[in-house]
Structure 1
Amino acid sequence: MKRILIAPLNWGLGHATRCIPIINALIAHNFEPVIASDGAALCLLRKEFPHLQSIELPSYNITYPIKGKHFKLKMLQSSPKLAKTIKAEHKATTIIIESYKIDGIISDNRLGVHCKHLPSVFITHQLKVLSGNTTWLSTKLHEKIIRQFQECWVPDNLGEPNLSGKLGHTTLYDIPVKYLGPLSRLTKKEVSFKYDVMVLLSGPEPQRGFLEKKLFTDFLNYNGKVIFIKGVIESEQHISEEKNIKIYNFMTSSQLEKAINESAFVVSRSGYTTLMDLAKLNKNAYFIPTPGQFEQEYLAERLTKLGFVGSCKQDEFTIDKLEEVSNYKGLSAMDYELNFKRLFRLFEGK
């Protein structure tokens, strides 16, 4: 079997979780996936695929500023360190290719994981990278990175309806861009609701922790049953209850699928992978984008304007906002048949 290195970015859990259906498809089509990442993303995939080989890559150590308005400045200040990490990551990739006899690469936003001598794929839903008045520059820099790969895969529909809007639908690059349809490891099940609301958290610190503290305090006074997923990957799962709230530090894919299906609606960040999961499960939601993250703010505002879900800024959220949920139609699955056999032809060789 040909070995395919699959390497998601450790930025929240979304990049890792949307790689799960691709890893399963690789296995089903007689490829041998080798996982490479770091931190919580690597920990999650090791729990999902304990039988697969996995390797730790250099960490980008991405953190958010305490105040969202400083996000862009923080990224600019971190750019020399980020460039150094990408160089180390590329060097590690060269060693991994030789040591593990790798035949192809799938990188989900890991900028240094590619090889000009092997078929290399870059996964992103951001052909356009929003950064305020520097969007043109961030997009050009991203385009330069993508050109180092043989193909770019966008996890969204090519036409309407779609989830990413202008992020994933812009002028195509001079390399093949393939639309996969929304990717999710979850499946909709017709079950009775067990919880009135699910709180589903993820993302880098300290903003994940800020929102956890705020929402936990707010929901202690909520008149309904709540399941609260902190999104903190640890060696062991911890479950506790306080008043009306059942609390998990993290869930496996099967547990999360069951819990979301059993929840009337979801309060979460507007991360793109969360959007894909909730659309697959036909869920209504209320989104609180990460402060200062232009992508999440755009996605939340777009879906609110289209009448799908409610949303607001983090410092504006109160429990009363949830009364707006019934005014929106919720997210729905998009019929998209992905031919993985055709998609993986890139790795079959001549």
Structure 2
Amino acid sequence: MGHATRCIPIINALIEFNFEPIIASDGAALELLKKEFPKLRAFELPSYNITYSKKANNFKVKLLKDAPHLLKTIKREKKLVENLIETQAISGIISDNRFGVRNKTIPSVFITHQLRVLSGSTTWLSSKLHQKMISKFDECWVPDHVGTVNLSGNLGHVEDFVSSVKYLGPLTRFKKLNINIKYNLLILLSGPEPQRTFLEKKLLKDLKKYQGKVLFVKGIIENEQKKAEIDHMVIYNFMTSNELEIAINESDIILSRSGYTTIMDLAKLEKKAFFIPTPGQFEQEYLAKKLQAEGIVPYSNQDDFNIEMLSEIENYSGFESKEYQLNYKKLFSLF
């Protein structure tokens, strides 16, 4: 979902510069983008079907088992892309972490914040494999600041990577709004199952002890938006970008996963937050530890978290926005 939402500002910029974007994705990400851009043509890609194991320490083993399916999906992507280029008169490709969405006949760009892919003791191997895939694209766009003051840390900054890398600055669909605080706590859930559901159940139980007004967004994209009010909580299955922009701005603190897109959003809106990384996901664990070490946001493992830990936020600075201006005209000159 994070990969889909961070593409929203790029799609808007393409439209502004008189391009005609075509959306291609699958699952909830495709549904979200179709809701955001109902007038654009949209096509379904084969799904990677990435799910997480119930136990964090089985994460790497499951990824290895899923590898053959992943490779088959990439081959299917390539064939589908060839057909789209022929039938839709496509002049360029921007792929956010879809390895098979590229073609030698037209400019192809890969978006990622992971030039280095953390996988524990096999980080060197996973990083080399990922970099090899990226090198097949004409350019690699990294949504982060260039230099040492950045959001992605070692993930998005690799000294010896030779491919054409451009740093875009953080990508976010949101703007900071001058509105009054309405909720004491906003909970944003996201990520693959079953861990998303595990955290939802845990939080709904813990929140019975929380004193304050809560907005709870489950992160489940469905055909219709659903809203429920239970005691001091307002619960949504999902929100549109405009609704979520207002919700984050009018919330005092945010509780969420430490996904990179969420970090970019909260940095832009200069919010205070508490993170619970997805168990077993090395990237989210690294980012949570990085931000805590920098005194910006505290975090807890999922199993250890309790609602009283939110008081730790007072000891951290929260995010501060670093201004940047992305030259889209120059960026899109590739096409």
**Deviation at 1:310?**
0.6
Match of 1:244 among 217, 220, 232: 232
**Corresponding residue number in structure 1 for 2:50:** 62
**Corresponding residue number in structure 2 for 1:181:** 169
SS in 2 for 1:117: coil
Matches of 2:280 and 2:163, distance apart in 1:
31
Q: Which amino acid aligns with 2:293?
A: K
| Residue-by-residue CA offset, 1:273-316 (whole Å, 9 max, x unaligned) | 00000000000000000000000000000000000001010001
| Residue-by-residue CA offset, 1:118-162 (whole Å, 9 max, x unaligned) | 100000000000000000000010011001100000000011321
**Corresponding residue number in structure 2 for 1:7:** none
**Deviation at 1:117?**
1.0
**Deviation at 1:26?**
0.3
Alignment of 1:116-135 (within 5 A): 116-135=104-123
* Superposition CA RMSD, Å: 0.7
SS in 1 for 2:28: helix
**Deviation at 1:173?**
3.0
Match of 1:151 among 128, 133, 139: 139
**Corresponding residue number in structure 2 for 1:9:** none
Taking only the aligned residue pairs, the percentage that are identical comes to 62
**Corresponding residue number in structure 2 for 1:205:** 193
Q: 8 Å contact 1:182–1:334 — kept in the other structure?
A: no
Q: 8 Å contact 1:220–1:245 — kept in the other structure?
A: no
**Corresponding residue number in structure 1 for 2:218:** 230
Alignment of 1:1-350 (within 5 A): 13-347=1-335
Matches of 1:86 and 1:311, distance apart in 2:
35
**Deviation at 1:172?**
4.6
Matches of 1:198 and 1:242, distance apart in 2:
15
SS in 1 for 2:183: coil
SS in 2 for 1:320: helix
Range with greater deviation from structure 2 (319-328 or 212-221) = 212-221
SS in 1 for 2:225: coil
Matches of 1:69 and 1:193, distance apart in 2:
40
Going from structure 1 to structure 2, the CA distance change for 1:235 and 1:323 (only over 3 Å counts) comes to same
Matches of 1:92 and 1:194, distance apart in 2:
46
| Residue-by-residue CA offset, 1:161-216 (whole Å, 9 max, x unaligned) | 21000000112533210000000000001111100000000001001111111111
Matches of 2:134 and 2:195, distance apart in 1:
28
**Corresponding residue number in structure 2 for 1:3:** none
Question: How does the TM-score come out when normalised to structure 1?
Answer: 0.95
SS in 1 for 2:78: helix
Matches of 2:306 and 2:117, distance apart in 1:
30
SS in 1 for 2:209: coil
Residue ranges of structure 2 left out of the alignment (5+ in a row):
none
Matches of 2:263 and 2:213, distance apart in 1:
23
SS in 2 for 1:311: coil
Range with greater deviation from structure 2 (286-295 or 167-176) = 167-176
SS in 2 for 1:338: coil
Q: Which amino acid aligns with 1:45?
A: L
SS in 2 for 1:102: coil
Q: Report runs of 4+ in structure 1 exceeding 2 Å deviation.
A: 171-175
Matches of 2:136 and 2:324, distance apart in 1:
28
SS in 1 for 2:127: helix
Matches of 1:90 and 1:272, distance apart in 2:
27
SS in 2 for 1:211: helix
Matches of 1:127 and 1:171, distance apart in 2:
10
Q: Which amino acid aligns with 1:225?
A: K
Residue ranges of structure 1 left out of the alignment (5+ in a row):
1-12
